[in-house]
Structure 1
Amino acid sequence: MINSDSRYSKWAVGLLAAVVLQGLVLVGMVVKAALPLWTGTPVKVATVPVDPRSWFRGNYARLNYSFERIPAGDLPFGTSLRIGEVVYVRLVPGSDGLYEYGGASLTQPETGVFLRGRLTDDGPPYRVNFGIDAYFAPKGRALQLERELRNGGVAVLMVTDSGRVALKAVEANREG
């Protein structure tokens, strides 16, 4: 005869293991997303806002960067590029202190500042998504950013040694 308590305890252990595993997966996702903010190096890049608000996403500024578009000649000719493929974009310091596009490759650079992104179309020019195209802010701050960023601004990115990037802040362009 099978002991019913044994059957229920096995079921309870299995359920507990499933719940713990799901919790660990969620914690891992949060840690992976926050890792650039904790360990990254600050890099400032020029940006231009596109749309300050959305009824569905809340108050945010959608940001465009010049390094999101890669010219055809910068990626290997004859290579079959797929949407979703990992691409590395090198950033180099410009004369104004802001980092700008310095080339792209399908292999991770060994040195320098670079971002890891994914192709979003099969170009050319190729578009790359880095996950830093929206800056969320409270309503008052979003409206203030809308006014301040009309002529462009500066995005503060946190970049890890592996090219993972997170958007830390958006500032008005303080030229002049």
Structure 2
Amino acid sequence: MIKFLAIFIQPLLLVGFFIYAILPFYLGKDVYVKTQGYDPRDFLRGNYVHLRYDFNDKKIKTDELTDIYAILEPNKDGIYETISINKTKPKVGVYISGKSNGYTQNFGVEKYFLPPEKALELQETLRDIDSNTTAIAHLKIFNGDARIIGVEILKQNNQK
């Protein structure tokens, strides 16, 4: 009986982890956030663009690894901005959960994996951004868990 339970529970756990990972794609709220980025080289992880958001720059004092929550609200253009970073989970509103160790903050949406050509193209575009251009990351957020859908480059008149 115990062997049967062990064999049955393992695939069930794998399916549960998979569902948890894709849940934000289907049930998440569409959130658009300004971003900046660069393309690091990593032979083990593949090609990706490292993105940085305004919630990465707002610091909160912590002495050890701590759960943190960035509360986001849309501005007049519909682009979400960070209102505050807290150690307590909000009961309402749009927020993204992350971890802080006092020096760095990670929210799980900093690495955007792409095919090599697209990663280099996005890196070049992000490097050449001027005051008339903005990079917008499209995120899906569900209960604080976020996934990157894409990154768009918008000109000042809001056209690609």
Query: Does TM, scored on the shorter chain, surpass 0.5?
Result: yes
1:173 counterpart SS class: strand
Q: Distance in 2 between matches of 1:92 and 1:136?
A: 26
Task: Tell whether the 8 Å contact from 1:153 to 1:173 is kept in structure 2 after alignment.
Answer: yes
Runs of 4+ in 1 over 4 A off after TM superposition: none
Q: How many residues align?
A: 152
RMSD, aligned α-carbons:
2.1
TM-superposition CA deviations, 1:14-47 (whole Å, max 9, x none) = 4343232111111111111111111000000011
TM-superposition CA deviations, 1:71-92 (whole Å, max 9, x none) = 45xx6xxxxx353321111112
What's 1:31 paired with? 19
What's 2:94 paired with? 113
Match among 40, 50, 56 for residue 38 of structure 2: 50
Normalised TM-score (structure 1)? 0.75
Q: Name structure 1 gaps, 5 residues minimum.
A: 1-12, 76-80
Match among 124, 131, 154 for residue 147 of structure 1: 124
Matched, 1:85 2:62: no
1:58 counterpart SS class: coil
Q: Distance in 2 between matches of 1:98 and 1:92?
A: 8
Normalised TM-score (structure 2)? 0.82
Q: Distance in 2 between matches of 1:154 and 1:117?
A: 20
What's 1:132 paired with? 109
Task: Tell whether the 8 Å contact from 1:52 to 1:146 is kept in structure 2 after alignment.
Answer: no
Indicate the larger mover: 136-145 or 32-41: 136-145
Q: Name structure 2 gaps, 5 residues minimum.
A: none
